[in-house]
A and B are shown apart, each in its own frame.
Chain A
């Protein structure tokens, strides 16, 4: 019955047990934390496994050493000296670059070893020191997560759960299990039984929490599951083709490496947008909603990923006078607002003279035209402008809800795609743009200028150089587009811009722009280009330098970046010089082959950002200051065959099918038609019968069969003008209603587009009673896991609070006592419990001896006197006297005061009650049976 804690020898078996139960989980959590850090910080790339091995090795060695009572004060200096010597040796090695890498790696390894060493030491020490590794792990995890949050990448509940749960579980495990494991002195039946009971308790707590959550949300879960399966089966029926893609997207969120292509859209220009419902849960995208798009905000990332997917192809009717194609960049959005904190460009809703046409090509009915001519006025351009036409064919992998068009688009018409190409392309539109005739965006191909192009550029430059100031420009526009942020970084950018302009002697806006462009293309003293293009600018931020941001690094340190850097820096520099400029995203148009003149193919890697500068009278002109980047020129695949131009329909009707397809005929009612490319609204509606025997039938964007047509479906029926058919001619003077009435029936239809029916309302849950609204919220697994963890943590916390509750309960029972004897007993129990928790545990003594020898010498509470009275009341069969009553009354608050004083402060006094194991020893029921117990 020795009480000396160090009297035992640590057996090998016990050591192995502790390694398994304490060190192994810690090493695993350390690995998880390292893994997270590796994702977030690119600097740490020596391989996660190697790092984890170093950490775990140091942890295990240190744990074993300290378990056999090695002296910290001796071994730790030894370790540090060893590390120092090794690092000196590595630093002294010959070679330059290799040594740098080796040193960097060794520094990392040193940190890991020291961390493992310290944590191993701590695991051997008092259980309260566990707070330190717990703090380290949690901080590291949070740092990794917050970095993600800062980059605005992914903060879905799953993500947080995946990252936080291991550490949280570890902390919980250690809190609950470590005391028991550390107290385990020898492997004997009873201790092992206790330990397994505790383990079982831990698992049971977690399971119980999980059970509570799943039980309380079971109904909602069922609904959710039903919904998913229903959806899946429906999609399986309607489109076999898209199955792969659907599978891909199903309920995964935009986790970093999703998608079969294996590319990463987190960094760079493209993103895969997700829609969220009002609860912030991702909604499964409708066909056409998914796919890649350019981001709405652009910041300087540490790397840009690219992909080689065809985004769209386009025919652009823009040629030089000699017939040579003149590619224009395809604009997506103007990001006119700059956020100096995040260093990102973003869209703004309150742009003065916003010349961006707001149209969603998906929502334009087939062959309908949407026009917004106000943008022509808002473009503020009057000189050197013309209207050009383009056709854009969107690939299936592209986001289709925003317009991609050259320059200032003002009119969009939705067009059909020829049958042979509708698997490659899903949506097509014809767009009219108000574009400049000047030639400026040839930065990328400057080396390969053809003489006439060079001349055109020269002419354009001269023309634009005539603009010397912005007198007469709308002050609101001027102010808006020259707004410049304040701060050390921006001041130094402004100084740099002023220096560049001063050195070049630039006066006009164009000269200033050219000076900046030339600056990016200049060479340094050794003849090497000053700036270079890279997809991996890296995170080389040094917190000691105020300009240590991605932008500051780019301009003042690394001189390497991709288009966002060049465009962003140019916009800021020009704005600082008072030149209205805006940041534009879209796709660089590259003329790669002469095979199909005017046709261009756009791959994901052509996503681009450039600068638009305002010149009064000429409007917004594209400029590209990004330095040469050869790999944007090469297509990953050769340009494909352009889709056949869509046939010209003589009739497009927008109506409602009266019946389904009967004998390959459809009767449709309509009030709106496109007749010979003009739109008409009809006043009378009689309906016409169409012969759809040869028609292509599409449901939404998907091909289907006539069987898909149901009565009362909204349909668009397209009839081509074919030489072999008799097509009614347009009579300009006649009433359109009458003309339509005279069409011969059945009209031969070539295309039948069925508008997707609205999803039938969700069947109400079977239980008829009204449910609370929050019950209907979709609940997903991560949320359940969260709640589980939370409840488990709460239960553990409650468990630790049990002694406090017990104390309060016992105290309340004193007042409730009916007789003096009962009160005496309750005071006695409370006093024993209080002394037990806050002063010293009663070992094998009787309470009287405990009072006499342990408590009273320390606290002078008169406990012994109380005990005498109490024992007399208990065993002498005597009645209470007034003296006794008074003594009880005096004793009861006195010992609480005395113990509080002994503990130091009230808080520390309460904290002592959290010692669960101690309280459990007190509250354990007495052995009421007298059967012999096995001795130990």
Chain B
């Protein structure tokens, strides 16, 4: 691996993290998760109570990246990548997302009017309030990166990153996402509330924070993101770590308190995320700590547990055992 390139990408990544961190304070780990999902070419689901900063997160991320969709002028005035936000409600229809054919008086033909999905960064707010029909429409796009409308298939931009948010499942008026759809999200994280001193800081500076948001620096270009995604794929992963990923997926399937284990796709996503995470952690190789850091956000929402206790500890147990194994493992090679 080219060393200079790595140094460059390191700088870019820390710039990006710091930049977002000026707005989203005290959430460095969560910012890293979001960027990880971005670099792994995946999508992320944020589950949290309203007002925890989910939307801010998505906006800041989008504004930090300059550039535009290939075939369209950037929508935002500041020249950042395209950012769209859709508020999901129970009466939302798939059309409202992907767009619809309307009749062109001039051409005397139906033309396709692209919906908000045709963007770089999509914020799907409160995704579990929409009906399953809409949910599945969105998730197909996320999975395939393309939209089929009538007889045509539209490709989305290769930089397409969805940040979906949802309120905790217990809340009223929600349609819980089925496991199959959850599986398509690379990660599911929850922001949680910030600690006391950070919150104090936010309250003290809420105006300044608001101002900063208006002119968030564009620290990365569109091409930078694409190349970083490329670079993340090239991160080295040691065979023993692959073995550990295998062990973890296998263990989730055998664990007596887990009724639905991790799928093979889940494992692949895990590996992708591990690589991206390593890059963010300024490394071009994966280590055992990455397993520990990512197992929960990447794997937990893919599993179905038989009871609450298991939900709390089962995955940690499996991962801890693997991490211990790796910690005691000898170095292979000379």
Binding site for B on A (CB under 8 A): 1, 819, 821-822, 824-825, 829, 844, 846-849, 871-879, 926-928, 930-935
Contacts and interface: CB of A to CB of B under 8 A. Distances in A.
Interface residues of B, number: 36
A849 B289 contact: yes
Contact of B324 (A849, A926, A930, A932): A926
Interface string B203-242: 0000000000000000000000000000000001010110
Contact of B325 (A849, A928, A935): A928
B325 A926 contact: yes
B136 interface: no
B328 A930 contact: no
B333 A877 contact: yes
A877 B254 contact: no
B331 A821 contact: yes
19 contacts: A821-B331, A824-B331, A846-B292, A846-B327, A847-B288, A848-B288, A848-B289, A849-B289, A871-B288, A875-B238, A875-B240, A877-B333, A878-B285, A926-B328, A930-B251, A932-B255, A933-B317, A934-B256, A935-B257
A935 B309 contact: yes
B257 A846 contact: no
A928 B250 CA distance: 14
A871 B287 contact: yes
A872 B287 CA distance: 8
B286 interface: yes
Contact of B289 (A821, A844, A846, A872): A846
B202 interface: no
A880 B241 CA distance: 20
A847 B326 CA distance: 10
B117 interface: no
B36 to A, nearest CB: 18
Nearest to B235: A876
B320 A844 contact: yes
Interface centre among A822, A844, A876, A877 (most CB of B within 10 A): A876
A845 B204 CA distance: 35
Given A846-B289, A846-B323, A825 B284 contact: no
B107 interface: no
A244 B283 CA distance: 92
A361 B269 CA distance: 107
A872 B331 contact: no
B328 A848 contact: no
Interface centre among B240, B247, B289, B320 (most CB of A within 10 A): B289
A287 B66 CA distance: 117
Contacts of A876: 236, 238, 283-285
A376 to B, nearest CB: 94
A878 B334 CA distance: 10
Interface of B: 236, 238, 240-241, 247, 250-251, 254-257, 283-289, 292, 309-310, 313-314, 317, 320-321, 323-325, 327-331, 333-334
Chain B contact residues: helix, strand, loop or mixed: helix
A925 to B, nearest CB: 8
B250 A930 contact: yes
B313 A935 contact: yes
B234 to A, nearest CB: 13
A821 B250 contact: no
B309 A877 contact: no
Contacts of A875: 236, 238, 240-241, 285-288
A847 B256 CA distance: 29
Nearest to A934: B256
Contacts of A928: 325
Given A846-B323, A930-B247, 14 more contacts: A819-B334, A822-B331, A846-B292, A847-B288, A847-B327, A871-B288, A874-B287, A875-B287, A877-B236, A877-B238, A926-B321, A928-B325, A931-B254, A935-B257
A872 B285 contact: yes
A872 B282 CA distance: 12
A642 B131 CA distance: 128
A-B pairs, 7 with minimum CB distance: A876-B285, A821-B331, A875-B238, A871-B287, A846-B289, A932-B255, A926-B325
Nearest to A876: B285
A874 B321 CA distance: 18
A810 to B, nearest CB: 13
B288 A846 contact: yes
A524 B240 CA distance: 102
A503 to B, nearest CB: 93
A935 B329 CA distance: 24
B254 A821 contact: no
Contacts of B323: 846
Nearest to B334: A819
A333 to B, nearest CB: 78
Contacts of B313: 1, 935
Nearest to B309: A935
A847 B285 CA distance: 17
Contact of A935 (B236, B241, B317): B317
A931 B254 CA distance: 7
B288 A927 contact: no
B55 to A, nearest CB: 32
Contacts of A1: 313
A341 B141 CA distance: 106
Contacts of B309: 935
A926 B250 CA distance: 18
Contacts of B289: 846, 848-849, 871
Contact of B333 (A821, A829, A849, A872): A821
A851 to B, nearest CB: 11
A475 B251 CA distance: 104
Interface centre among B240, B285, B287, B333 (most CB of A within 10 A): B287
Contact of A927 (B256, B284, B325): B325
B319 to A, nearest CB: 10
Contacts of B314: 935
A66 to B, nearest CB: 34
A533 B283 CA distance: 100
A932 B251 contact: yes
Nearest to B292: A846
Contacts of A930: 247, 250-251, 254
A926 B330 CA distance: 12
A934 B285 CA distance: 34
Contacts of A926: 321, 324-325, 328
A312 B228 CA distance: 116
B274 to A, nearest CB: 11
B10 to A, nearest CB: 14
A926 B317 CA distance: 13
B256 A932 contact: yes
A935 B331 contact: no
Given A846-B292, A935-B314, A927 B241 contact: no
Contact of B285 (A819, A844, A877, A927): A877
Nearest to B328: A926
Nearest to A875: B238
A69 to B, nearest CB: 29
A825 B330 contact: yes
Contacts of A871: 287-289
A824 B289 CA distance: 18
A438 B114 CA distance: 150
Interface centre among A846, A872, A873, A875 (most CB of B within 10 A): A875
A848 B287 contact: yes
Interface centre among A825, A846, A926, A935 (most CB of B within 10 A): A846
Contacts of B333: 821, 877
Interface centre among A930, A931, A934 (most CB of B within 10 A): A930
B56 to A, nearest CB: 29
Contacts of A873: 331
A928 B292 CA distance: 18
A928 B244 CA distance: 11
A874 B254 contact: no
B257 to A, nearest CB: 6
Nearest to B317: A935
A536 to B, nearest CB: 72
Contact of A932 (B254, B283, B329, B330): B254
